[in-house]
Amino acid sequence: MKYLFETCSLNYEDFASGRVLYNAQGTTSFPVRLSSEIVQRCFSILDTKGIKGPYSIYDPCCGGAYMLTVIGLMHSHVINKIHASDINPEVLRTAERNLSLLTAGGLARRKEELTRLTALYQKKSHEEALASLEKFNKQSACSALKEIVIAQGDITTAEKRHIHDPFNIVMTDLPYGDKVNWITNSSNPVSDFFDQISKWMDTEKSIAAIIANKDQKLKHEKFKRLQYFKVGKRQIGIFELIS
C-alpha cells in the first residue's frame, strides 16, 4: 500500500495510548499514520466531488474513540462535527474522556491530572505527556469543531436512531476478534452494518471508510467501492452510496 498523504513515517509518540489519550481494558488503539491517511483520502474524495469542508464524521463502532480522537487532534481544522457510538456502554466512558480532549475544557482537565501525577511521582513519562498536551493545546486554536455527540447503539439493528442529518464521513474499524468482537444478535453483522449506515449517508455528500480484518467481506449491494488497500492484517475499503 502506498501512502498518498502521510508520505513520511513520523514520530507519533504524542498520540500514544495512555500518554495524553486515555486507555482502558476492552478498548484498542489504531495506527496513527494509517488513521490520518484514511481520513485524508476521504477529505480528498469529497473535495473532488465539490463537497468542501469542514466535514462531519461518524464512527458507529467507536470503542474508546482512540481513532476518532487522533483524527480530531490532527485534523480538527477541517472537521465540524464528530459523532461516536458503540453498543458497549463501558467503553463509551473512555470514549467520552478521549473526545473531551478535543475541547479546551477537556485539555485543561487532563493537564491538571498530569500535573498532579508529575508532582506525586516525578516521572519523566508524565513530564513528556504534559509536553505533548501543550502541542495539542496549540493545535486546538485552529479547530473548526462545533459538536461532539456520544451515544450507545447497535449499528447492526434498525433501532431508533440518535442521528438526524447525514454524515460526510462514516469511518470505523470493525470488530474482528483479539480484544474486541461483535456484540450483536445479527447473523450477518457486516451486511447489516452496511445496511444501517446507508440510512445516515447521502448519495452525493457522504462516503464510508471501513477497516476490517481479511476474513470479513467488505461488500454490499447499496455501496460502490472507490478505493481498496491492505496494510498488514487489515483491509480498508472506501465506499460511496449508490443512488
Helix, strand counts (H, E) of the chain: 6, 7
Residue 205 near residue 51, CB atoms below 8 Å: yes
Q: Kind of pairing, strands 169-173 and 223-231? A: unpaired
Total domains present in the chain: 1
CA distances to 15, 26, 49, 139 from 86, in Å: 22, 12, 30, 28
Q: Is residue 5 part of a domain?
A: no
| Of 28, 85, 32, 95, nearest in space to 60 by CA | 85
Q: pTM of this prediction?
A: 0.94
Q: What is the pLDDT along the chain (243 residues), one digit of tens a residue?
A: 899 999 998 999 999 999 999 998 888 899 999 999 999 999 999 999 999 999 999 999 999 999 999 999 999 999 999 999 999 999 999 999 999 999 999 999 999 999 999 999 999 999 999 999 999 999 999 999 999 999 999 999 976 655 668 999 999 999 875 444 666 677 889 999 999 999 999 999 999 999 999 989 999 999 999 999 999 999 999 999 998
Q: Which domain holds residue 50?
A: 13-241
Q: Is residue 2 part of a domain?
A: no
The rounded distance, in Å, linking the Cα atoms of 14 and 129 is 7
Q: Is residue 176 part of a domain?
A: yes
Q: Which amino acid is at 25?
A: Q
Q: Is residue 1 part of a domain?
A: no
